[in-house]
Structure 1
Amino acid sequence: MKTLIFFFLGLGIATGQKTLQWVDGQTSPPASLENVKWIAGHWQGEAFGGIAEEIWSPPLGNSMMFVYKMVKDNKISFYEVGHIQGIDNTLILQLKHFHGNLHGWEEKEETIDFKLIKIENGVAFFDGFTIEKVNENQMNMHVLIGEDEKVQEMTFAYKRVE
């Protein structure tokens, strides 16, 4: 099983069964950025004793980019930069992590990739990562965090910043 790490998220609360995992031989369904354009905006939530801030652009150039910042004790814990990109008539979520000094976590050419499993009723299920529209001003991200037998699903709640 691949290693799953923290990524662009808000309020952490343990939950269950909101994520799906990729099965060998599976293919991603047809999808476009129109299916997830509601994610665009400025979002904030509490996370790990600090504040998580995430900003998503509207679709442009066949992608929706995002930046994420985790602030704890008034200091940057880490950043993320990534996108949901339309590729081969479906979507993929990709990201990279950075320390507060912008030194990368992943190797230069490496990204953390989440293949699309399905989209239904305002919920995008990527491999181990689910983005759920609660309403126009709230969304949840459900993420598998950990490694091998120590994987747990966490729910992160965001509110739209006006």
Structure 2
Amino acid sequence: MILKCVFFIVSGFVLLSINNLAQVTKASVNQLAFMAGTWTQKNGWGDMEEFWGEPMGDSIISSFRVVKDGKAAFYEFVVIEEQNHLPVFKMRHYNRGSIGWEEKDKPLLFYLVGIEKNKADFELKDKSVRITYQLVSPDKLDVTLVEKDKKGKLKKDIFNYSRKK
């Protein structure tokens, strides 16, 4: 009986947490200003650099690159624009030579599913990829990427960026 009660309590908290993430109904790109800056990290992929501009109007822009063995491996370009009073994260990938991965009129669209002070969660509509940005200190930005692999198993990568001086 006690185990049943614990199960229902835990299940309730999980459902409330999921519902809270899905209930973002209004936010502004200005709430994402904590992401602004140039952020760097070295990891197995190579030397990574992610730049986020300050919010301007109803948008923010970002560029990202990975350099391995002195050569650019790939790039990303992100625009976050407000649509219906919510920031929408629009991403495109490029190979070396500026060869796009996505079709020209179909960027990856990530929707804001959670927002707190210095933290934002974005997720694809099909929930196969989630990206979380969290400013953990003035000079540290963690980016957590959770995505399903081809077998449907969740894979989690955490990128611990430092502010470029």
- Taking structure 2 as the reference length, the TM-score comes to 0.78
Equivalent of residue 160 in structure 2, options 151, 154, 157: 157
1:37 aligned residue: 33
2:113 aligned residue: 117
Moved over 4 A (4+): none
1:143 aligned residue: 145
One-letter code of the match for 1:119?
I
Question: Quick one: higher RCO (CA 8 Å, sep 6+), 1 or 2?
Answer: 1
Q: Distance in 1 between matches of 2:80 and 2:42?
A: 23
2:49 aligned residue: 53
One-letter code of the match for 1:92?
V
Q: Distance in 2 between matches of 1:55 and 1:90?
A: 22
Q: Is the 1:28–1:115 contact (alpha carbons within 8 Å) kept by the matching residues of 2? A: no
Matches within 5 A, 1:1-162: 26=22, 28-127=24-123, 128-145=130-147, 146-162=149-165
Shift of the alpha carbon at 1:27?
Answer: 5.2
Q: Distance in 1 between matches of 2:90 and 2:44?
A: 23
One-letter code of the match for 2:111?
K
Structure 2 unaligned regions, length at least 5: 1-17, 124-129
The number of residue pairs the alignment matches comes to: 139
Structure 1 unaligned regions, length at least 5: 1-21
One-letter code of the match for 2:86?
T
Q: Which has the higher helix share?
A: 2
Q: Distance in 1 between matches of 2:56 and 2:96?
A: 28
Pairwise CA RMSD of aligned residues?
Answer: 1.7
